[in-house]
Amino acid sequence: MIKWIHSLFSSPKTEENTDHIKPEVHEHHKNNIKSMSNKFLIVGLGNIGAEYVNTRHNIGFKILDHLAKKESLSFETLKLGALAQYKFKGRTFLLLKPNTYMNLSGKAVQYWMDKENIPLENLFVITDDLNLSFGTIRIKPKGSDGGHNGLKNINLVLNTNQYTRFRFGISDEFKKGKQIDYVLGDWDDAEKVALPERLETASEIIKSFGTAGLENTMTTYNGK
């Protein structure tokens, strides 16, 4: 069990160089059908199980849950994850919470991209980030895994790091040797007070990505 928990994490301070990953066009992009261009796969990263629900590492799940509750959506447990469909301004957003555990997230992402003909540019991955202060938002069109095993596995399975990721800062306010306890721990009291507003902003970011586009979304929300 201890070995499994340790396998979920790698050092937040050392970004693994993933520049060697070929920025090749994903098969879904090559076969993109114009009529499907308004469909987006929004992936919130996290771990399944009641013990993880309110942990910092599950912010991806929490953001999707917030949007689903706000819009009266229901998640259905399907292959490799829980899925909810949200229609907004002519776009279809598929909200995915993989049930593969964090370090196998790529398997679920690839399966649903294949099944729904999602082009790579319409993939949006939400993850926690220890290197950003609490609630800080950073949206990027590509990049390294930053020491995050969920992103690492997605990069490996898709054979590219050229997809949009939304990093939500959880800060690194933990004592030496306590990283796992911190990441798998609950939010502190101050964070719990601030979290609802951050979740609301995150929900707006998802909608903006599909309607206003990536560049406008980055300009509007990065650093806020």
Supply the residues annotated as catalytic. Answer: 57
Describe the crossing of helices 105-116 and 149-158 by its angle, rounded to 10 degrees.
50
Identify the three-state secondary structure at position 55.
Answer: strand
Report the side by side order of strands in the sheet with 164-169.
Answer: 76-78, 81-88, 91-98, 39-44, 123-129, 164-169, 137-140
Can you read off the two tokens belonging to residue 210? 């599909």
DSSP secondary structure letter of residue 184: T
The answer to whether the beta carbons of residues 196 and 65 sit under 8 Å apart is: no
Positions at the binding site: 52, 101, 103, 149
**How far does Cα 136 stand from its chain's mean position?**
14
Q: In the chain, which ranges are continuous DSSP H helix?
A: 2-7, 27-30, 59-70, 105-116, 149-158, 179-183, 189-211, 214-221
Contact between 161 and 144 under an 8 Å Cβ cutoff? The reply is yes
In angstroms, the CA 17 to CA 46 distance is 23
**Which residues are part of a known binding site for tRNA?**
52, 101, 103, 149
For the chain, first and last CA: distance in Å? 38
